[in-house]
Amino acid sequence: MEHLHGLLRIHVHRGVNLAKRDVLSSDPYVIVRMGKQKLKTRVVNKNVNPEWNEDLTLSVDDTNLPVKIFVYDRDTFSLDDKMGDAEFQIGPFVEALRMELNGLPSGTIITRVQPNRENCLAEESCIIWTEGKVVQNLVLRLRNVESGEVELQLQWIDIPGSRGL
């Protein structure tokens, strides 16, 4: 526990315009990796615009490690097909968490992260103070595929006894 900063809750909201890997559609799921941790959403059958609405929670002991997202198409009789990947850094989110923000009105934008060649953002990502906590909304453009985006939201969970930020 003493080496742990806290927990990063990733709300995997949905996929948009994902690639078709079966005859007419795909059966997508998402794998989230950070360091040696690997978490997976459920499969949404026959849908290139899936709504997962799942929370996946990672233990964070190194805030410099990237979070990697992989989208796959579930296949029954063969290996699952790759449907793209993306990654992002949690550095700007962690910086916002370290600020003293109590008393701000809900909905206040703390900072904005612009898409660039170094990240997979499809559009500007806002880090927002909402209902007493810091959240970051991300739309990630998938790489190594003809189309597709994944929408996520980040939230931090402090753990008593952890190192904190």
Q: What are the tens digits of pLDDT across the range 28-46?
A: 999 999 999 999 999 999 9
- C-alpha distances (whole Å) from 65 to each of 33, 56, 87, 106, 140 are 10, 17, 10, 29, 17
Token pair, residue 162, equals 């952890």
- By C-alpha distance, which of 142, 8, 155 is closest to 70? 142
Within a 13 Å sphere around the CA of 114, how many CA atoms are in the beta-carbon half? Answer: 2
Q: What are the tens digits of pLDDT across the range 114-139?
A: 999 889 999 999 999 998 899 999 99
Percent of the chain beyond pLDDT 90? Answer: 81
Domain ranges of the chain: 6-157
Per-residue pLDDT, averaged over 85-95, amounts to 96
Higher pLDDT: 4 or 90? It is 90
Q: Which CATH class is domain 6-157?
A: mainly beta
Place of tokens 């993306």: 86
The answer to whether 147 touches 18, Cβ cutoff 8 Å, is: yes
Alpha-carbon dihedral 35, 85, 89, 104, rounded to 10 degrees: -120
